[in-house]
Amino acid sequence: MIQMRQPEDAPYAFQAAWNSHDMDGLRVLFHEDATFVNRFGHYVRGVEAIIKLHAPIHATIYSDSTLENELIDSVAICDDAVVMHFWSRLAVGAAHPAGPHAVDTLIQAVLTRRVEAWRIKALENVTLTNPRAGEAVLRNSLDS
C-alpha cells in the first residue's frame, strides 16, 4: 500500500491500488467524506460509497485490468490543498464483455492535508471522446 506523503504521489498511489485490485488500499487514499465521479458520470459521496462503486467491478469486468497514470500538473490552492490533473490509461482484459481494449481518461483531483496526511477530497474522471462521433479515443491518436 502506497502512502501519499505529498500530493504528487496520488496518481501513482491510485494506480497501485487499482492494479492490485486492493479495496483497502483504495480506501486509504480518500477522506471519509470524499466525492467521486466515475468516467460514466456516476457521482458518489463518502469513502464507503466509493468502495461500493469499485469493489464489484474489480471482482468482475475489471478483475484483469491495469491503470497507468501520468501526472500533468499540480497546483497548490494553499498549504493544505492542491488541485491536480493526470492522464489515466485503463487497459482491460478478457474479463470485460467487450474484450481487451484501452480507454484514456483525464482525472481532476482535489487533495487536502489533515493531520499531516494527504488524501483525495474529490476526484472526477472524464473519458476522452471524439465530440463529433462520441466514440472513445486514445491520447496518442489525438495528434493524428
Domains, the chain, with CATH or none: 7-143 (3.10.450.50)
Predicted pLDDT of residue 144: 45
Q: What residues contact residue 95 under an 8 Å CB cut-off, 6+ apart?
A: 60, 61, 62, 63, 64, 65
CB burial of residue 57 (10 Å; 0-12, 13-18, 19+): middle
Q: Kindly report, residue by residue over 40-65, the tens digit of the pLDDT.
A: 899 999 999 999 999 999 999 999 99
State pTM to two decimals. Answer: 0.90
SS3 assignment, position 3: coil
Rg (CA), the chain: 15
Q: Kindly report, residue by residue over 68-87, the tens digit of the pLDDT.
A: 999 999 999 999 999 999 99
